[in-house]
Amino acid sequence: MPQERLQKILARAGLGSRRECEEMIRQGRVTVNGIPAHLGMRADPERDDIRVDGRPVKIPPLMGFALYKPRGVLSDPMPGSSSPSVYDLVPSVRPLYVVGRLDARSEGLILLINDGELAHRLTHPRYEHPKVYHVLVEGRPETETLERWRRGIFLDGRRTRPAKVRVIRYEGAHTWLEVEMREGKKRQIRRIAARLGHPVRRLIRIRIGSVTLGRLKPGQWRPLTEQELRQLRSLKAEKSPRSRPRRAEQRSAAQKG
């Protein structure tokens, strides 16, 4: 296993946030192979003897849950809020990191895993892991409207990345769409749909990367399968794709539309 920064290893072992683990190192509480650690030090948790306050540091095996977050449930606990969070719906395991936050009005698949670095990779748009949603919008979007969505529209001064959008079915005066994206600005789908004149009535995420919602009902969860865990582990070895310079991307987008 390649070496990594010591504070990342300690955080993965559930000993605190990276900042808290950095403070442990500063306080001289951490040793590597019997030598006092220092900030910037790297180690291999499978080969090196890493200790905090004299106790060996053990990295727990990757595990996690797939959860159907119901509407009204928060993706993160909020101090003073009476609303439940996703942590109230799954077994009490620590640490657990949320992959794929959803606003309170939205529902569907959320992952909770015990590896913070992997959670970051699955969440950050740089790594381009797809997320798929079923979205009920008002009205019946025309073909050109859907093409605008697919090409991307400007939000906060930047064009959104291309998305896959298709009609699933019509439901009275409303339309169910399937939307696949590889980025996730705050309330992006709701903002795009409203900008295009078709506000969202319901939003359900059905897939994150290779993990699907399946037959889960609101509030239900299941452990991630061994196959899903293997696929997630493989993502840690992937390099992030090269991104085009944002200025060049904006100029190109402006010329198109």
76 is catalytic: no
Whether 140 and 155 map to the same domain: the answer is: yes
Is residue 52 very low, low, confident or very high in pLDDT (cuts 50, 70, 90)? very high
Interatomic CA distance for residues 124 and 235, integer angstroms: 13
Whether 135 and 122 map to the same domain: the answer is: no
The confidence score (pLDDT) of residue 1 equals: 59
The span from the first CA to the last CA of the chain, in angstroms, equals 47
Whether 134 and 197 map to the same domain: the answer is: yes
Whether 26 and 81 map to the same domain: the answer is: no
Contact in structure between 43 and 9 (CB atoms under 8 Å): yes
179 domain-assigned: yes
Contact in structure between 209 and 231 (CB atoms under 8 Å): yes
Q: Is residue 39 over pLDDT 60?
A: yes
The confidence score (pLDDT) of residue 95 equals: 82
Say what the pTM is: 0.80
Q: What is the mean pLDDT of residues 52-59?
A: 93
142 domain-assigned: yes
Contact in structure between 108 and 204 (CB atoms under 8 Å): yes
249 domain-assigned: no
Whether 158 and 37 map to the same domain: the answer is: no
Of these residues, 44, 49, 76, 103, which one is catalytic? 103
216 domain-assigned: no
Is residue 254 very low, low, confident or very high in pLDDT (cuts 50, 70, 90)? very low
| Tens of pLDDT, residues 170-218 | 999 999 999 999 987 889 999 999 999 999 999 999 999 999 999 999 9
Is residue 116 very low, low, confident or very high in pLDDT (cuts 50, 70, 90)? confident
Q: Which residue has the tokens 């004299």?
A: 54
| Tens of pLDDT, residues 82-110 | 889 999 999 988 788 999 999 999 999 99
Q: What is the mean pLDDT of residues 56-81?
A: 92
The confidence score (pLDDT) of residue 245 equals: 45
Give the CATH number of the domain where residue 72 resides: 3.30.70.580
Q: What is the mean pLDDT of residues 156-165?
A: 93
122 domain-assigned: yes
Mean pLDDT of the chain: 89
10 domain-assigned: yes
Q: Report how many domains make up the chain.
A: 3
Nearest to 214 by CA among 231, 228, 200: 228
Whether 150 and 107 map to the same domain: the answer is: no
Give the CATH number of the domain where residue 157 resides: 3.30.70.1560
| Rg (the chain; Cα; Å) | 21
98 domain-assigned: yes
Domain range enclosing 155: 130-208
Whether 143 and 32 map to the same domain: the answer is: no
Query: Between the CA atoms of 235, 19, 9 and 241, what dihedral angle is there, to the nearest 10 degrees?
Result: 20
Q: Is residue 121 over pLDDT 70?
A: yes
247 domain-assigned: no
Nearest to 10 by CA among 169, 179, 19: 19
Higher-confidence position of 224 and 78: 224
Whether 108 and 234 map to the same domain: the answer is: yes
Whether 139 and 12 map to the same domain: the answer is: no
| Tens of pLDDT, residues 12-28 | 887 887 889 999 999 99
Nearest to 203 by CA among 113, 91, 71: 71
Whether 26 and 146 map to the same domain: the answer is: no
Q: What are phi and psi of 94, to 5 degrees?
A: -130, 140
Query: Between the CA atoms of 156, 123, 65 and 76, what dihedral angle is there, to the nearest 10 degrees?
Result: -50
Nearest to 200 by CA among 212, 217, 188, 218: 188
- The count of other CB atoms within 10 Å of the CB of residue 155 is 15
Q: Is residue 255 over pLDDT 50?
A: no
Looking at 41, 56, 71, which one is the last position of a domain? Answer: 56
| Tens of pLDDT, residues 210-253 | 999 999 999 999 999 999 999 988 877 666 555 444 444 444 44
Whether 117 and 231 map to the same domain: the answer is: yes
Is residue 135 very low, low, confident or very high in pLDDT (cuts 50, 70, 90)? very high
